[in-house]
Structure 1
Amino acid sequence: MEIKMLEQTLQDSPLWLSNFVCVYQKLSKDNLKLLDTIYHENVTFTDPLHMIEGYDNLYHYFQNLYQNLSACDFVIEEIIWQDSQASLCWTMSYQHPKLNKGNMVSVSGSSQIKGQGDKVIYHRDFLDLGAMLYEQLPILGKFIKWIKIKAAS
């Protein structure tokens, strides 16, 4: 989707969705307080490793997540929404000193989010955990890549 089309989608979208996209595209360990502007106090957040209930728990999760990252960037590429639900396709690029020899890692994923009032009450991320984490570990990464090659042939 072109940037112009994404911007037009955001202009026509509900406040909870446009705020979510704007915050995620500038989120960093230095501005995690912005999460308060987009998440409902009773939010449910799910990713391949966790299910988190409540804003305070989610905030602490993000603090721990961002603590060891050298960089993290989200580019939201496509948004499909109707009423109080949306699906987003994105690419996350991050850098961690102990993963991928400290080089950037890019992972594609998608999110299902639901709005309530002007905030997000439900957020579920779908992504390849192997590509994000396991394949970036020195020994385990080579083994997982080997398994993928064998499974594909």
Structure 2
Amino acid sequence: MSPIRPIDCSAAVAELGRFYETLQPSSLARIGDLYAPDARFKDPFNEVVGTAAIARIFEHMFATVAAPCFVVTKRIVQGREAMLGWDFHLRLSGRDTVIRGVTHLQFDDAGRVVLHRDYWDAAEELYARLPLIGGLMRWLRRRLSSG
């Protein structure tokens, strides 16, 4: 077994950031250029393997979310790994909404993503903003808060 060579994924991270900031349904065909065929993707709602499954997540996003737009706010790269901070802008229940999160990425020798893991607080960023669930979430937060 040969040791993993250290590589710098800065260029791949910059390209991936541009991809997400300009993401449109027509650009989903590029996922195979940016992600390895067996890439793993996980977020609070999905856990899939493979570029076709990853593309379906974004197809679903475009079909169900109004005006989705990612803005990359931070890039941290160390060898084969990176973290992207981002704001996801969308229209939820007729109101403009921003969900803040971070993505952990791992890359292969070719600079393609092999692991994409999104971290964001679905309870605070999404559920608390929904009409019926939001009131319950705010009550629960007050009830469990130490302050």
Specify the TM-score bucket, using the shorter chain as the normaliser. 0.7 to 0.9
TM-score after normalising by structure 2: 0.84
User: 1:90 is matched with which residue?
Assistant: 86
C-alpha displacement of 1:68: 1.6
Which SS does the other structure have where 2:44 is aligned? coil
RMSD across aligned positions (CA):
1.8
User: 1:141 is matched with which residue?
Assistant: 134
- C-alpha contact 2:87 2:101 (8 A) present in aligned 1: yes
May I ask how many residue pairs the two structures share in their alignment? 138
User: 1:105 is matched with which residue?
Assistant: 97
Q: Please, which moves more after superposition, 141-150 or 75-84? A: 141-150
Counterparts of 1:1-153 in structure 2 under 5 Å?
A: 14-95=10-91, 99=92, 101-116=93-108, 117-152=110-145, 153=147
- C-alpha contact 2:43 2:119 (8 A) present in aligned 1: yes
Larger radius of gyration: 2
User: 1:9 is matched with which residue?
Assistant: none
Give the share of equivalent positions with the same residue, in percent: 23
Letter in 2 for 1:71: A
- Separation in 2 of the partners of 1:115 and 1:50? 20
- C-alpha contact 2:9 2:81 (8 A) present in aligned 1: no
Structure 2 unmatched runs, 5+: 1-7
Letter in 2 for 1:150: R
TM-score after normalising by structure 1: 0.81
